[in-house]
Amino acid sequence: MTLRQLELFIAVAETKSFSRGAEMIALTQSTVSQHIAALERETSTKLLDRTSKGIFLTPGGKVFLQHARLVLAEKEVLKQAMDSLHGLQKTTLNLGASNIPANYLIPCFLPELNQQHPGISLTMKIGDSNEIHEKLKSGQLELGIVGGRVNDDIYTYEPLLKDKLVMIVGPNHPLKGRKKITIQELVKEVFIVREDGSGTYQALQKAFLTNDIDPETFSIIARLGSNEAVKRAVASGLGSAFVSDLSIQNNLRHEELFKIDVTGLSIERQLWLVRLRERTASPAAVAFSELLQASTVLNNLGQCCRV
């Protein structure tokens, strides 16, 4: 089994095609097929199902793909470590982030990262907290910034900052002029929420249960896949929502949205820097993590979001 064979397998698995996988790595389809067959013989496991609709991973293939990505990720860590000995700092860091840190933390942090480590090129994937965890697990990402944790000890977490969730309504909502409402009034409202896998929705559910509020009593009119979609829907007059306070500073200033306090209800969530425990951190990941933890951006994020 060679690293090249692992690269071939990943190409075929990701494209779900021997021909497209062969094109990606500049080999003939027959050569790729021979290498995949050799892997299946060596592992005594069928890795791929060939069907008229394409290539599909078997259960064994899914396990093989996960570990193949991790092995190649360790190869990149080794290369970075050797390059750093010679002062060669040009490298790419694959980062995943959920909606709020992706849109309101990382953009403010990029100038500082570029100034301190100009050789680090950041590639960021955006998804909900569950998606980021899965991409870390499969080796597609090295670091993640999420608003929700999972109960699995394959991950390690470092706290970054607290994010407050606040209730918002649009300019035509009946509660627009109110500064504060009661929980009894709250449960009568129609809500737009994020999808189940998001850190925002997890924090909202936890806060309701902590305050003896049954989430099932709420009328949910829509579940949307991004913070921006939720804000736009509320601004257009569709119900109310709980969103990150960081994300609405410009909306408040332009009176597109209005914030309402709920008596006795305070919702905060922790944003976390997460990585896979078994994966060796690359020099780029170490530098990024240390700089982010020490950055003044974390303390001045509210001001950045008002720009």
Q: What structural domains and CATH numbers belong to the chain?
A: 3-59 (1.10.10.10), 75-144+277-305 (3.40.190.10), 161-269 (3.40.190.10)
Name the region of 255 (left: φ>0; alpha: ψ -120 to 50; beta: rest). Answer: left
Which SS3 state, helix, strand or coil, does residue 13 take? helix
Which SS3 state, helix, strand or coil, does residue 175 take? coil
Taking only the tens of pLDDT, the chain with its 307 residues reads: 888 888 888 887 877 777 777 777 677 777 777 877 888 888 888 888 877 777 788 888 888 888 888 887 777 777 766 766 555 467 888 999 988 899 889 998 999 998 888 888 899 999 888 889 988 887 888 999 998 888 888 899 999 888 899 999 999 999 988 889 998 888 888 999 888 777 788 888 888 888 777 777 778 899 998 889 999 999 998 889 999 998 898 899 999 999 999 998 888 888 999 998 888 788 888 889 999 998 877 877 766 665 5
pTM of the model as a whole: 0.66
Query: Do residues 166 and 248 touch, judged by C-beta distance below 8 A?
Result: yes
Angle subtended by helix axes 59-85 and 283-294, to nearest 10: 80
Q: What is the CA radius of gyration of the chain?
A: 23
Query: Do residues 195 and 223 touch, judged by C-beta distance below 8 A?
Result: yes
Neighbours of 117 (CB within 10 A): 18
CA atoms within 13 Å, Cβ hemisphere of 87? 0
